[in-house]
Structure 1
Amino acid sequence: MDKNEKRILDSWQMNASLWAQAIRQQQIYSRAIATDAAILKAVSQLNPRTFLDIGCGEGWLSRQLFSLGIDGWGVDFCAALIDAARDSGDSRFVVCSYSDLASQRFSTISYFSCFICNFSIIGECALDEIAKAGHSLLESKGKIIIQTLHPIIACGDSTYSNAWRETSWQTVSDKPFHPTPWYFRTLESWINEFHALNYRLLNLYEPCDPKTNKPISIIFVFERE
C-alpha cells in the first residue's frame, strides 16, 4: 500500500470520534450552509430506488435517505465510524474497504441505483476502485454521485495539477484533528478518468457560499455506460 494511502487509513481511525462529533453538532460551516443540502438535492432529483453511501462516516446521509423511504447501505473502511453509524439502531452499515467493494454482498440489495461519495474520494486509488465496483454493483444506467472540494478553490496557491496535498482541519472544529494527505484532481482529470472507465458525465453542480457567492464544492453525476 502506498504510504499516503496508509496515512489516510491511520488518520481516520484517530479522527473518528472527533469527526462524528463535528458532524452531529454541525460544526463544519460549509456543510451547515450549503453542501449537506446540495448532496441531498442531487440524490433526490434522480429519484433512486436504492443507494450505496460509500465512505458514509457516521452515517448522517444514509439516515436522511432512509427517512425519505430510499433503501440502501452505508460502507466505510473505518470501523469506529461504522460503530458510530450503527448507534442509531440501523444495521445497514458495514465495514468495507474501497478495494473490496466489488466482492461485498449486501443482504437486501443485489444492484444499486446509485453510488454516493460525499467528500469520500480522498486517495489516489479510490476513484478507480469505486468506478470498477460500479461495473458489478450498479444497475444498468446506474449513477455515481460525487461531492468534493471545488478544484479551483481547493487548489489555493499550488500548481493546478494532480498531486498529493496535506489537509487543513482549521475550519472543522475547535479541537485538533490528526492531519491526513489527500489527492488533488483537476476538473478535467475528474471527468476524463471516469470517462476512461466507461462513465459519462450526466450533470455537474457548483454549490456556493450564500454570503460570498463563491463555489465551496462541486458535485459530479456520472452515469454508467
Structure 2
Amino acid sequence: MPGAARYDDVADFYAAGWTDTVDDPAAVRLLALLEPIAGRRVLEIACGHGRISRALARRGADVVGVDLSSALIEKARAAEQAAPLGIRYLHADAAASDIPGVSGLFDAVVCSFGLSDIDDLEGAIAGAARVLRPGGVFACSILHPCFPGGRGVSGSWSGDASYYAEGRWRADGELSSLRRQVGANHRTLSTYVNTFRRHGLWLEEMAEPEPAPDWAAQRADAARFPVFLVMRCINQASPAAGGSGGLTAPVAAR
C-alpha cells in the first residue's frame, strides 16, 4: 500500500474548500469535454475526496476513483456510503505499473488538477493510456503552466524562477492557500503534450476557461492571464490491441 501522502495533512481543508458544487469554469469545461458520458466506464486518477467522480456518476457514468491520500479516500468512501452512486474508490498510486483493483479497459480517464501533484508524470500517463480503450478519451485540467500569476496569487512556477525551470516548488502567494501547503510540480506545456503523445494520447481539444467573476474581481492582476488549462486527448492505440465498445471519437489525421 502507498505510504503517507501530502494531502493527508490537509484533507479537511481541501474537502471543505472544494465541494460537490461543480459550477466553477474549469470543472464545467472538463466535464463537457468528457461528454457523452452516460453509460461509460471512467477512471479518475488523483480523485481526492471524489468531487469529480461523483459529478460523473450523477451523469450516469460507471466510475472508479484512485488517490494516493488515504485521508481523502476515506472521505470519498464516506460520501459514497452516505449517498451511494456505485463508485469504487481505491487507495493506490496512479503512477504505479499496476494499480490493484483496476482491471479491464475504460472509455475515459480523467484527472482534475491532479497532474501537478503527481511526481511521476510519465508513469501516470503511461498507466492512463494502458487502461484506456482505443479511441477513448483522456481529459485533464491543470493550473495553466505558461503564466506567472499576479499580486498575491502564485502562478505555475516560483516567482523568482524561470518558466523553463521544471521541478517541485511551494507557492508563496498569500491567496494561493492550497499550493502554499502542498506545493506542486511545475512542467512546461510542451512537457505535458509530449508526454501524452509518447503514450499514444493525441491532443484533440484544449480550452482556457476564464475564472469566475468573483475570483477575478479579487485577483484582477492574475486574471489578466489564463489561469486554467483543460485538455482532451484521444487514445490512438491500434484497435488490434483490443478494447470495449462505447464512446467513439473522430480521430483527425496528423
Give TM class, smaller chain. 0.7 to 0.9
- Give the structure with the larger helix fraction: 1
Matching residue of 2:219: none
Inter-CA distance 22–194: structure 2 relative to 1 (3 Å threshold):
same
Q: Percent identity?
A: 20
Correspondence list, 1:145-160, <5 A: 145-153=139-147, 154-155=155-156, 157=159, 158-160=161-163
Offset, 1:98: 1.8
Structure 1 equivalent of residue 217 of structure 2: none
Aligned amino acid, residue 65 of structure 2: G
Distance 2:49 2:31 in 1: 16
CA contact (8 A) 2:20 2:51 kept: no
Tell me how far apart the structure 2 counterparts of residues 101 and 67 of structure 1 sit (CA, whole Å).
Answer: 30
Counterpart CA distance in 2 for 1:44 and 1:112 is: 14
Deviation at residue 146 of structure 1 after TM alignment: 1.2
Structure 2, unaligned runs of 5 or more: 148-154, 214-222, 237-254
Whether the aligned pair in 2 keeps the contact of 1:48 and 1:114 (CA below 8 Å) is: no
Equivalences, count: 210
Q: Distance in 1 between matches of 2:48 and 2:172?
A: 19
Structure 1: stretches of 5+ with no match in the other structure = 1-5
Mapped pair 1:66 → 2:57: yes
Q: Which residue of 1 aligns with 2:226?
A: 215
Match of 1:202 in 2: 204
After TM superposition, list the pairs within 5 Å mapping 1:117-132 onto structure 2.
117-123=111-117, 125-132=119-126
Structure 2 residue identity aligned to 1:159: S
> What displacement does 1:25 show?
8.1
Does the residue aligned with 1:215 lie in a helix, a strand or coil? coil
After superposition, residues 25-104 of structure 1 pair within 5 angstroms as 33-44=24-35, 49-88=40-79, 89=81, 90=84, 92-100=88-96, 102-104=98-100
Deviations 1:205-225 (A, max 9, x none): 111125457422101212222
Do the aligned residues in 2 keep the contact of 1:53 with 1:117 (CA within 8 Å)?
A: yes
The alignment partner of 2:42 has SS state of strand
CA distance change for structure 1 residues 168 and 146 in 2, over 3 Å: closer, same or farther?
farther
Q: RMSD of the alignment, in Å?
A: 2.8
- For 2:179 and 2:37, how far apart are their aligned partners in 1? 35
What TM-score do you get using the length of structure 2 for normalisation? 0.72
**Greater relative contact order, per chain length (Cα 8 Å cut-off, separation 6+):** 1
Aligned to 1:188: 190
